[in-house]
Amino acid sequence: MRKNIVAGNWKMNKTLQEGIALAKELNEALAEKPNCDVVICTPFIHLASVTPLVDAAKIGVGAENCADKASGAYTGEVSAEMVASTGAKYVILGHSERRAYYGETVAILEEKVKLALANGLTPIFCIGEVLEEREANKQNEVVAAQMESVFSLSPEDFSKIVLAYEPVWAIGTGKTATPEQAQEIHAFIRSIVADKYGKEIADNTSILYGGSCKPSNAKELFSNPDVDGGLIGGAALKVSDFKGIIDAFNA
């Protein structure tokens, strides 16, 4: 069956020293193995330091992006192979901030997903609509179009990815999708995966919710049948909050 996952997205926060301290604190706070997989996605420069600090049986480490090219003259870029060489196991791809501020298109993301998989990384592939699209009731159409980046994968490769539905209007705004809104669109996403790859693969795909997820709303969101955990921004920067969200799976 599919896994429950709580993944943190540190975004462009924390110096190396602060990131190391945060990872150590989290590692200590998770004295017992949580009831879900826990992942922390950090800035590139933190990866090589943070990966050996955490207990890999309890915490997976990931990047927040990788290049759409394998290697070569792409100044400033970091390849999926480089990410994997730090011991990281995951990579967030298609985050709405990457799509909006760095021009990441469906085609670019398709390349990134393929390179991540070719290097043994698990992509956490993000999709989600902006407020105007939600208000025009176009959210299903929007996420279906974004899924084209991963619908060219073989069934075997598709089985290795994690999806994260993040309504852009809920990211960092304090405004969360209601549990009903989350369930409705997660079920839709699972249905289009089933149409493409069949029910078994769809049932085994973890679909995380992201957008102002916090300890006070995590349990209600995660209790929906098609919500398999969360992708956590702001609340991942404080161990007590992140642990509070992880604990939503413990009760």
Cα–Cα distances in Å, from 215 out to 6, 126, 247? 12, 21, 8
Least distance (Å) from ligand PGA to the CB of residue 246?
14
Distance of CA 121 to the CA centre of its chain: 12
Q: Does 122 bind ligand PGA (CB under 6 A)?
A: no
Candidate list 211, 226, 243, 246; residue touching ligand PGA; CB under 6 A: 211
* Candidates 12-20, 29-37, 76-84, 226-234; binding stretch for ligand PGA (CB under 6 A): 226-234
Among 231, 245, 246, 248, binds ligand PGA (CB under 6 A): 231
| Residue 95 is a catalytic residue | yes
SS3 content of the chain, % helix, strand, coil (to 5): 45, 15, 35
- Say whether residue 166 binds ligand PGA (CB under 6 A): yes
Contact between 60 and ligand PGA (CB under 6 A)? no
Q: Which region among 14-22, 107-115, 128-136, 164-172 touches ligand PGA (by CB under 6 A)?
A: 164-172
- CA 122 distance to own-chain centroid: 10
Q: Strand, coil or helix: what is 51? A: helix
For residue 21, give every residue at least 6 positions away whose Cβ sits within 8 Å of its Cβ, in sequence order, or none.
none
The amino acid present at 178, given as its one-letter code, is: T
Q: Which residue has tokens 């021009």?
A: 103
229 in contact with ligand PGA (CB under 6 A)? no
Which residues are marked as active site?
95, 166
Residues that bind ligand PGA (CB under 6 A): 9, 166, 171-172, 210-213, 231-235
